[in-house]
Amino acid sequence: MARILIAEDDPKQAELVRRYAVAEGHEVTVVGDGRAAVDEVRRRVPDLLVLDVMMPRLDGLDVCRILRSQPESEAVPILVLTARAGEDDLLDALDLGADDFLTKPYSPRELMARVRSLLRRHRVSSSGVARPPITVGELVVAPATHEVHWRGVPVDCTAGEFALLETLAAEPGRVFSREQLIARSHGESGHVTRRTVDVHVANLRKKLDPALIRTVYGVGYACAVAP
């Protein structure tokens, strides 16, 4: 079971998401505006935030920006719901720290598949066997604690960025196509696009080092750090 916070100002949409999440055994809290979402996260950090973009008081993009700037909420997985299908809006959400997005209208089955994927990627393995940290040069990626250190300095990464970095760091020098990175880092979430991968790579280069991830034109990406 996970604690899921739903921030959605449309009561029918909120009830749809709530009903399906409860049916899968999750504890669900619903709020109707962006300011209430920020306040609720500060009160009790959820395991996942399902966040509508168009909301009163604060829109979803502002909520992302605020939560990612605060230590207690910087790693909370965020699934953005939007009726605006423009690529710029979706990329803005990813740039601000959202981990995934769904364009309205969506099917409940697809929604819950993405919820499961984000929760699975974020939580420590339920087997109790922690995966050891991956050390490549001055880069350390710790799957069990969802921590990244670059040259001894901790770096905050979203769940999507972390999953992609872990895949690359596990096999330094190997070139992964975008499709391979999607399959390795997102599992069943085949909805993730090639452009989403590019955005995650761009964000990791800003946070870590532009030379850390090498582009192999026409093929994909590789971790450029020497082992």
The arithmetic mean of pLDDT across residues 133-160, rounded, is 89
The domain locations on the chain are 3-122, 134-223
pLDDT attached to residue 85? 57
Higher pLDDT residue, 6 or 106? 6
| CA proximity to 182, closest of 202, 160, 204, 212 | 160
CATH topology of domain 134-223: Arc Repressor Mutant, subunit A (1.10.10)
pLDDT attached to residue 220? 92
* Rounded to 5°, angle at Cα 5 from 181 and 27: 100
- Model confidence at 109, in pLDDT bands (50, 70, 90)? confident
Percent over 70 (pLDDT), the chain: 88
The arithmetic mean of pLDDT across residues 183-189, rounded, is 63
Q: Are 146 and 154 in contact (CB under 8 A)?
A: no
**Average of per-residue pLDDT values in the chain:** 85
Strand boundaries in 63-186, DSSP class E: 78-82, 100-103, 134-136, 139-142, 147-150, 153-155, 176-177
The residue to which tokens 């899968």 are assigned: 24
Residue 117 scores a pLDDT above 90:
no
Higher pLDDT residue, 185 or 198? 198
pLDDT attached to residue 127? 40
CATH no. for 3-122: 3.40.50.2300
pLDDT attached to residue 192? 62
Q: Note the pTM of the prediction, 2 decimals.
A: 0.66
